[in-house]
Structure 1
Amino acid sequence: MDASRQTLVGELGQALQRYQRSVQAFDDEVGRAMGLGPADLRCLDWLTEGPLTAGQLSVATGLRPAATTALVDRLVARGLIERTSSPTDRRQVLVQMTDEGRRQTWAYYGPLVAAGAPLLAELSEEQLTFMRDYLSTITDITERHRERVEGERG
């Protein structure tokens, strides 16, 4: 790898680290503003993709089942999420975001999304495709290494 490419790769790595720290700091601030802990906010984040079982939430948040139940109870009491029966298996309980939960989280994240929209509007479909694929790939790599560290921990 030539020196200019190596420099650029290093700068990209540093930019990604700064972005990750910025996102974490923003999420921390949103959590404080909403009176939520990191696991609570992570739960809401996962539920933006759709309903999950408590077991799926436990895996997603890294919490033990009892702690997940307590987390769900707290967020249900706040009106941010609700338990519902699965439409395909009435024995299964799903957890999903309420309209109030979406409203409260969007009050913080909506302006951020709106601020980034013009940047994305300037990109070509090829650039957007590249970014989507790159982010998907580095997410998969990070997930594999999270699992590796989890396995080493026992």
Structure 2
Amino acid sequence: MADNSALVRLLRQLTVETDRFVELFGEKQRMHRTDLNALAVIMDARWSGEPMSPSRLAEALHLSASATTSVLDRLEASGHVERARNPHDRRKVELRTSDKALELGRGFFQPLDGAFTRAWEQFSDADKEVIARFLSASIDATVSVRAGLASPARPE
């Protein structure tokens, strides 16, 4: 059984390896890491069913409104993101991943998806449920600690 420090090391190694993988995609597409992160957040919002707005993106990436606009301008100019008016409230702008971006992503990440699928075949559905809970708890813990470090220091 792996102890907590071994799990932390494994998570760190996975983070480093996935960062390297994503950086390679960014290099091939000539995209900055912030642009890649924005694209990932917009794609994830698509799966959650909640429209992504520029202000929600700014909050998710901890960027100013002007920095977010710059990121969106680059992503839109490169054909990766589209800005569309909300059909129910034309004052609201929704961000959508373009078909081009989805196709590029699929082409690049499909081999990794396949490798993950093959690697995970050794795990039962029950194992995968535990792994999913473990990863969700680890993400929540990271977000919580990051939020605490990012908030202004309180006077003692």
**Is 1:18 aligned to residue 9 of structure 2?**
no
**Stretch deviating more after TM superposition (15-24 or 117-126):** 117-126
CA deviations 1:16-49 (Å, max 9, x no partner) are 1111111111111211111000110001111112
The residue aligned with 2:99 is: 99
Alignment CA distance shift 1:124-1:105 (3 Å):
same
- Give 1:114 shift: 1.2
Q: 1:1-154 to 2 correspondence within 5 Å?
A: 8-49=3-44, 50=46, 51-152=51-152
Which consecutive residues of structure 1, in runs of 5 or more, have no partner in the other structure?
none
TM-score, normalization: structure 2? Answer: 0.88
- Give 1:61 shift: 1.5
Aligned residue for 1:52, secondary structure, equals coil
Which consecutive residues of structure 2, in runs of 5 or more, have no partner in the other structure?
none
TM-score, normalization: structure 1? Answer: 0.89
- Give 1:84 shift: 0.7
Alpha-carbon separation, structure 1, partners of 2:60 and 2:26: 18
Give the percent of matched residue pairs that are identical in Structure 1 and Structure 2: 24
- Give 1:153 shift: 6.8
Alpha-carbon separation, structure 2, partners of 1:45 and 1:113: 15
